[in-house]
Structure 1
Amino acid sequence: MKSLSHNRDFNVFWLGQALSVLGGSASAVALPMLVLAATGSVFQMGLVTVVGAATAVVSGTFAGYVVDRVDRRRLMIVCDLARGLLLGAVPFLWLAGPRIWLLYLLTAPVGVLKSLFDVAYVTAVPSLVPPEDLIRANGRLMGTFALGTLLGPVVAGLLTGGVGAAWALGLDGATFLVSAASLLRVRFTPRPGEAGERPGPRGAGVLREVFVAGFRFLWAHPLLRPLTVLLTLLTFLTVGATDLLIYRVEEDLHQSSAILGYVMAVSGLGTLVGAVTAAALRRRLGFGVCWLGSVAATAVGFAGIGVSRSVPVIAVLAALFMFGLTVGGVCSMTLRQEVTPQHLLGRVTAAFWTVHNASGPAGAAAVTALAARHGVPAVSLAGGVFCLLLVGAGLLTPLRGSRAGASGPPPPAPVSRLRRPLRGRRR
């Protein structure tokens, strides 16, 4: 903890992202609330989610290549400034009346910018802290995310009830400008093997660099391969979870936007607890048990949200759901940072996200369409069972006995598998 507390660049980076996360959390709740207020349709909420998820998949195919080839700090600043301007314009454009097409139009470019920023964000952490502080740094960043998740929905609920959900999106835009200002004061220290900005190959070489390098590393690694497959299936289910929760509370149980905000805030407690305990759980239990246990917690929370009619119980179950997602997220992110060479980290991160996010658009559409037809309770219960089946499948893979992270980074996969030439090109 001492090294992190005296690490100026990490702390400036951390504090700048803290405010940005608060705005992003408010925006994530306000956007579906804005759609619901304008249309009254859970399926329309799902369609906006589909656009965002589909954009993440498409942009993920090239985000890693871009991040590995340009100045990461400069890229993050540009992404923040652009998102600040786009989202900051929403409340003013909305004054002329609800325009759902505007939300679809903004979701795509904001999604591209988010993909680029998020990949750069993950690759930036190893440039700010030494390897032995990675798990603690990720836990601290996730803890900040947890606080934002805790407070953001309350802010979104209060703004929605007072001046409208569009102003919560405007708040998100303002926080991106603060994030950009903080990044101007941060220096990234390159690690051995990190080349920084480099001229890339041309023609077919670009295709190999963009689409092959990251995917091949994932497939060759004995832990990342099953983790990617299982997380792809989990993402299919969970991308539409926020839409189901909002519809359940506001439409099924006839609660106000303020009550929904408090429910979402309680769910943020799960994120906070998960962020605080993830490092200790991973050291004690090892990667495999910790990650599979997080999926089991997600299953119970997802199923219970739709079955219960008690708002306090739903809030607790939502917290359990977020606890599972947070612990799993911290563990998987740290594992990738530990086992991936720096010059490949952007592409491996983007490939990982692209693969498992690919199921998100179809999943969000399917989950919300089924909820509109059969109701949220039936869909949530089936989703919980599906998550438990994923845990069972994981027990049949190398994840079952993995102790990666229990006493340090896991050993790398064999060089012959991970660093084979790309059609004669040396890596």
Structure 2
Amino acid sequence: MKEKQGFSRDFILVLLGQIISLFGNAVMRFALPLHLLNVTGSPRLLGIVSGFAFLPLAVMSPIGGLIADRVNKRSIMVVLDFFTSALVLIFTILHGKVNLVTLILVMLFMLYGISGAYQPSVQSSIPLLVAPEKVMAGNAAINIVSSLSSLLGPALGGIAYSMWGIMPILYTCIGCFFVSAVMEIFIRIPMIEREAGGSILSEAKNDLKESLSFIVKRKPAIGKLTLCCAGINLFLSALIVIGLPVVVMQILKLPADRANELYGYLQAALAVGGLTGGMLAGVLSGKLDIQKSYKIFFACTVLLLPMGAALTKGIPPYLAYGILLFSSFLLMICSSLYTIQVMSYIQIVTPKELIGKVIAWILGISTCAQPAGQIIYGFLFEALQSHAEWIFYGAAFVSVGVSFFNRRICSEIETVGEVYAADVPQNG
């Protein structure tokens, strides 16, 4: 199943399925809110619907982790892609016949919920399909696919929507999910058999206790690294999501006809930065050391300083924009490198029978951190818009504290080689 040279056939099939499925999901999650805004003309309604649609992702991640460790991961991917294809088909049938706001809200709820249940299966399958020394490269490949989908999905979806409207997009996505499901049928992922221990509820309760015990007691470094990943989302990612559109669209006082275009370039720079970070993680997978990961986190923190300085009074708007563009690009590279490195370490040190649930906890906690940060930054930018540079400086100051916490964790972490020596006998 695992191949010493390159990736296995089954991992390549997982990658191809991800490319098709994530692309369809990205197009849908971009086109549906845009369609809602065009039909209703209400930004407030768009914000409410988009915000609430995010919740199922956090709720379904732990559930997806529980399922991923007890059901064949290939079956989960196949069923969810077939289900998504049928869901989009139902949407096309009901479009124009029921309330659009309700229909889109339910659809976005389902898409985000499916994503939350789907990703633990994908992430937990990586150590089962690639050799140990290829785990980080495998994560980098998955990250590249995700970044490409985030970059191309909205871009192509926006072009298609402006030319043909929503219906051709829906038909295309039905095909994407269906083809992905058919392709995934041929994936072979080893299934770790577990003895039944009672009712479904009692087994779920025991699974949650076992995974939490592993994170908190057996490998407390994983729990602490999870908090660091949550810190990235809370203090850095949320700042990028909320701060950059406010800065470009309002604070820099750019011409109205250019602001939308320039913000689009900024979003593209973020996506390309994530893609570049994924590629670098793959190339440098043999050289990246988890014990030095705090340095990458610290680099993310440092990049907030020029972004804040760019907003100082007297800086020409286009110069400020250029600084923001370049700093955001570098920030996304570092953020992707850090996240891939941490996720790879966790996949290596976690027993195969727990990996789905452990990853689900990490995804769930990290996911919850970002909307919390978005709410905080929303209030801050409304209250301090004339002094927005201090928001960036404040985020940098807090993030420095997190990076020092990260450094202390790294000093306690064993190397990957030590992990193999200690765990190979008991995990096989």
**Smaller-chain TM-score bracket:** 0.7 to 0.9
Map of 1:289 onto structure 2: 292
Aligned counterparts of 1:179 and 1:59: Cα–Cα separation in 2? 21
Alignment partner of 1:195 is 2:193: yes
Matches for 1:247-286 after TM superposition, within 5 Å: 253=254, 254=256, 255=258, 260-279=263-282, 281=284, 283-286=286-289
| Backbone CA RMSD of aligned residues | 3.9
Distance of aligned partners of 1:41 and 1:86 in 2 relative to their CA distance in 1, 3 Å threshold: same
Letter in 1 for 2:342: S
* 1:68-121 Cα distance to aligned partner (Å, 9 max, x none): 111211111111122233345556755679833333222222222211110111
Kept after mapping to 2: 8 A contact 1:339/1:410: yes
Aligned residues: 410
Kept after mapping to 1: 8 A contact 2:304/2:396: no
C-alpha displacement at 1:158, in angstroms?
1.7
* 1:166-223 Cα distance to aligned partner (Å, 9 max, x none): 8656655542222212201211134xxx226x53532773353243222221112242
Distance of aligned partners of 1:234 and 1:139 in 2 relative to their CA distance in 1, 3 Å threshold: closer
Letter in 1 for 2:281: A
Partner of 1:284, secondary structure, is: coil
C-alpha displacement at 1:338, in angstroms?
0.4
C-alpha displacement at 1:274, in angstroms?
0.4
More displaced stretch, 112-121 vs 95-104: 95-104
Partner of 2:110, secondary structure, is: helix
Map of 1:213 onto structure 2: 210
Alignment partner of 1:57 is 2:52: no
Matches for 1:45-194 after TM superposition, within 5 Å: 45-87=46-88, 90=91, 99-164=100-165, 171-190=172-191, 194=192
Alignment partner of 1:332 is 2:347: no
Partner of 1:63, secondary structure, is: helix
Aligned counterparts of 1:93 and 1:257: Cα–Cα separation in 2? 33
Aligned counterparts of 1:376 and 1:45: Cα–Cα separation in 2? 22
* 1:342-362 Cα distance to aligned partner (Å, 9 max, x none): 011111111222233333443
Matches for 1:16-31 after TM superposition, within 5 Å: 16-31=17-32
Aligned counterparts of 1:352 and 1:222: Cα–Cα separation in 2? 13
Partner of 2:69, secondary structure, is: helix
Distance of aligned partners of 1:16 and 1:60 in 2 relative to their CA distance in 1, 3 Å threshold: closer
Distance of aligned partners of 1:16 and 1:388 in 2 relative to their CA distance in 1, 3 Å threshold: farther
- Identity rate, percent: 21
Distance of aligned partners of 1:292 and 1:379 in 2 relative to their CA distance in 1, 3 Å threshold: farther
| TM-score, with length taken from structure 1 | 0.79
Distance of aligned partners of 1:376 and 1:68 in 2 relative to their CA distance in 1, 3 Å threshold: farther
Kept after mapping to 1: 8 A contact 2:136/2:285: no
Map of 2:402 onto structure 1: 393
Kept after mapping to 2: 8 A contact 1:274/1:323: yes
Aligned counterparts of 1:277 and 1:261: Cα–Cα separation in 2? 24
Distance of aligned partners of 1:203 and 1:159 in 2 relative to their CA distance in 1, 3 Å threshold: closer
Map of 2:367 onto structure 1: 357
* 1:268-323 Cα distance to aligned partner (Å, 9 max, x none): 22112101112555643522433552464267369839949545554434423322
Structure with the greater alpha carbon radius of gyration: 2
More displaced stretch, 228-237 vs 381-390: 381-390
More displaced stretch, 282-291 vs 328-337: 282-291
| TM-score, with length taken from structure 2 | 0.79
Distance of aligned partners of 1:380 and 1:323 in 2 relative to their CA distance in 1, 3 Å threshold: farther
C-alpha displacement at 1:226, in angstroms?
1.6
More displaced stretch, 235-244 vs 4-13: 235-244
Distance of aligned partners of 1:22 and 1:7 in 2 relative to their CA distance in 1, 3 Å threshold: same
Letter in 2 for 1:277: L
C-alpha displacement at 1:382, in angstroms?
1.9
Partner of 2:398, secondary structure, is: helix
Distance of aligned partners of 1:204 and 1:185 in 2 relative to their CA distance in 1, 3 Å threshold: closer
Distance of aligned partners of 1:141 and 1:125 in 2 relative to their CA distance in 1, 3 Å threshold: same
Aligned counterparts of 1:98 and 1:409: Cα–Cα separation in 2? 58
Kept after mapping to 2: 8 A contact 1:234/1:387: no
C-alpha displacement at 1:164, in angstroms?
4.5
Map of 1:347 onto structure 2: 357
Distance of aligned partners of 1:212 and 1:249 in 2 relative to their CA distance in 1, 3 Å threshold: same
